[in-house]
Structure 1
Amino acid sequence: TEGSKPSNLDRLESITDADHQSRSQLRELLGRNFAAGRGSASIGSHNEAYARVRGLMSSDKLFDVSDEPDSVRDRYGRTLFGEQALIARRLIEAGTPFVKVGRAWWDSHGQNFETHLELVPELDQVMSALIDDLHDRGLLENTLVLTLSEFGRTPNINASLGRDHFASAWSVTLTGCGIQGGAVYGKSDEDGQTV
């Protein structure tokens, strides 16, 4: 099936090809004028990233996973999260410098353990497929894969058998870019209350 292409990737129908081309030329002119005399490598990197993204905008095929073998799609899992991670791999292969994949509903204020019994196997399946795929394709050495959330969960269980928001300590995993596996940076106290 067709993947979940972002709705804002296509040019608005109200913008003609000529308008789009004119805007692109203006952006390039302003970019050259801005870069003149600055000699910053980051400006060149930004322009390269912008050019790659413009190319991706015209490629619907990147978001269509129907041409992926069933074995690959099954490894990622036939869920929205699995499909998004597979599309992320395709975007990385195409040179996209930053890709974000999200999996909602980890908010386990109640029934924390039942929630994790459902969510953790999917996370494990999807992330292991993505990391293995990036490694097998020679992309992991230059790709940083992070698994994180915006905050942690309380070390203690609440009255609803859940865990509430906790901004004092939580975990992040880093893979790729030469990061040594199994290393731990930082630590919390024995109760997981503070770093």
Structure 2
Amino acid sequence: MEPRNCDGHDNVPELAPGPIQRRDFFKLGIGGALSLALASRLTLEARAEEPSSGKGKGKDTQALPPLVPKAKSIVLLWMDGGMSQMDTFDPKQGANGGGLKKIGTKIPGVQFTEPLAPLADLSDRIAVIRSMTSREGNHQRARYLLHTGYPPTGTLKHPSTGAIVSLKKQNAELDIPHFVAVNNPSFGAGFLGVNYGPFVIQDPSRPPDNVAYAAGIDADRFDRRLKLVEKVDQGFTAARAGLMTDGKDSIYEKSVKLMRSPLLKAFDVNAEPEAVRKAYGIGDGMGGSGRQGNAARGDKFAEGVLMARRLVEVGVPFVEVTLGGWDTHEDGETRVTSLANSMAPAFAALVRDLEDRNLLDSTLVLCMGEFGRTPRINARDGRDHFPGCFSVAMAGGGVKGGQAIGRTTDDGMSVAGTGIEVPDLMATICTAIGIDHTEWFQTPVGRPIQIANKGRLIEGLLQ
């Protein structure tokens, strides 16, 4: 049996270059030693020079639909561990359906389970893909696939969707990170290089650490220290010109910009009115997986989703917020109910909030995990890994709401008809935000890699 952890974070290797943590990202004032340490880290993380791309050899010829991409930002609500489609967006009757009550939605003939009532009320704005399928039933491999569009290999680290968006939607006027991951490091930039990896927020209840001057340090003294670091680094940089030193210099530059940016306030969810915080589910004590201490986990997710709205509002193109605990091998209904009591109100509040601020059309919101759960309930009243069928919910960003795309059989054991593969989802996400999914990157060794792994658009999803 595969080793696992009820958090859904079981034995996860570093499958892609990891994020630059805040402590590495901001401690700029301690002298040249930091420069050397950070450069050493970059040696391990950086995989390529600035990526080249092209649209020639091997290009998929699927015609793009006659639509103008609407999304400017993406918010990914990541249900880590594998969300049960049977207990959320694709409930069934009979023994496989379990004990959770099924409720109607605004989509004709479509039901959700009762814990998703806040989303059922908004289902005219939501599209649910019920026919997602893959062959990856291992957490590590499936997470990698859903984040990159590719199965993991031992020879190449693919960029995550967030990294691709960070690269393709660069905005020189935005002096805060373009790819933010909340509650979990997500996946890195692979062969694109560390400049496009995620900026990690481990605790959304407070602003990022180490972005203020240290005690006794004012702006002038800080600038003098930066100049000293540059002077000490000159010989090192000259002897090691290339990606490693360029990456270090770029990170230093971005660090200073972030420390001085007026947009830092976007990370402060405590600035929101209490009514808004309550709408997202912050402080309601509902919890995250029905176990002791998980009310805090639910709050962290809700705060992360609220932070995502604030970041989108100032122009950040990709934010991922993780809610762990979905690896429900046991006590499934209780745990899914508690998790959904965190996920559904925050998801619904985000949709309403974006709509009220005229941002929903320009923000694509996705809710998904790495795979689904078995239709049959096991002896521990839980469900095991099941990549054959799973669901993805989407709203905003040009998505045509009020529909379910694809279906599963009455017993939930298989997709009815043709399934939708992960590269197809990747292609559709890229198209929604104006990235040509048929474009090819070139790796440092000259290997052509298509952005969406030859995926094709999901018909009828975008408008």
TM range (shorter): 0.7 to 0.9
- With the length of structure 1 as denominator, give the TM-score of the two structures: 0.76
Return the match for 1:66 from 270, 275, 296: 270
Q: Distance in 1 between matches of 2:24 and 2:406?
A: 39
Q: Call closer, same or farther: CA 1:8–1:153 in 2, change over 3 Å.
A: farther
| 1:66 CA drift (Å) | 1.8
Return the match for 2:327 from 99, 104, 107: 107
1:11 is matched with which residue? 26
Any unmatched runs of 5+ in structure 2?
1-20, 36-48, 55-165, 178-254, 283-298, 416-463
Task: Say whether 1:128 aligns with 2:143.
Answer: no
* SS across alignment from 2:366: strand
* SS across alignment from 1:119: helix
Return the match for 1:177 from 385, 391, 397: 397
Alignment of 1:176-195 (within 5 A): 176-195=396-415
What amino acid maps onto 1:157 in structure 2?
A: I
Q: Work out the percentage of aligned pairs sharing the same amino acid.
A: 39
Q: Call closer, same or farther: CA 1:136–1:161 in 2, change over 3 Å.
A: same
| 1:182 CA drift (Å) | 2.1
Moved >6 Å (runs of 4+): none
| 1:121 CA drift (Å) | 1.6
Q: Distance in 2 between matches of 1:9 and 1:147?
A: 30
Q: Distance in 2 between matches of 1:161 and 1:60?
A: 45
Partner deviation per Cα, 1:46-83 (whole Å, 9 max, x = no partner):
47525355335614312112211111111112210110
Q: Conserved in 1, the CA contact under 8 Å of 2:305 and 2:321?
A: yes
Partner deviation per Cα, 1:120-146 (whole Å, 9 max, x = no partner):
122111111111001111111011100
Task: Say whether 1:138 aligns with 2:153.
Answer: no
Q: Conserved in 1, the CA contact under 8 Å of 2:176 and 2:264?
A: no
Any unmatched runs of 5+ in structure 1?
1-5, 20-29, 39-44
Task: Say whether 1:49 aligns with 2:269.
Answer: no
| 1:194 CA drift (Å) | 1.6
Q: Call closer, same or farther: CA 1:156–1:47 in 2, change over 3 Å.
A: closer
Q: Distance in 2 between matches of 1:7 and 1:168?
A: 38
What amino acid maps onto 1:170 in structure 2?
A: F
Equivalent pairs counted in the alignment come to: 169
Q: Call closer, same or farther: CA 1:64–1:10 in 2, change over 3 Å.
A: farther
* SS across alignment from 1:140: coil
| 1:193 CA drift (Å) | 1.5
RMSD of aligned residue pairs (Cα, Å) = 2.8
| 1:179 CA drift (Å) | 1.9
Q: Whose strand proportion is higher, 1 or 2?
A: 2
* SS across alignment from 1:72: helix
Partner deviation per Cα, 1:105-160 (whole Å, 9 max, x = no partner):
01110000110221112211111111100111111101110000000000010000
Relative contact order: is structure 1 or structure 2 higher (C-alpha 8 Å, sep ≥ 6)?
2
What amino acid maps onto 1:114 in structure 2?
A: T
Partner deviation per Cα, 1:83-120 (whole Å, 9 max, x = no partner):
00010001100111111011000111000011022111
Alignment of 1:89-104 (within 5 A): 89-104=309-324
2:385 is matched with which residue? 165
Q: Call closer, same or farther: CA 1:176–1:48 in 2, change over 3 Å.
A: closer
Find the structure with the greater CA-based Rg: 2
Q: Distance in 2 between matches of 1:130 and 1:194?
A: 32
| 1:171 CA drift (Å) | 0.5
Q: Distance in 2 between matches of 1:173 and 1:15?
A: 48
* SS across alignment from 2:407: coil
Task: Say whether 1:154 aligns with 2:374.
Answer: yes
Partner deviation per Cα, 1:5-43 (whole Å, 9 max, x = no partner):
x73684342578xx9xxxxxxxxxx98xx89xx9xxxxx
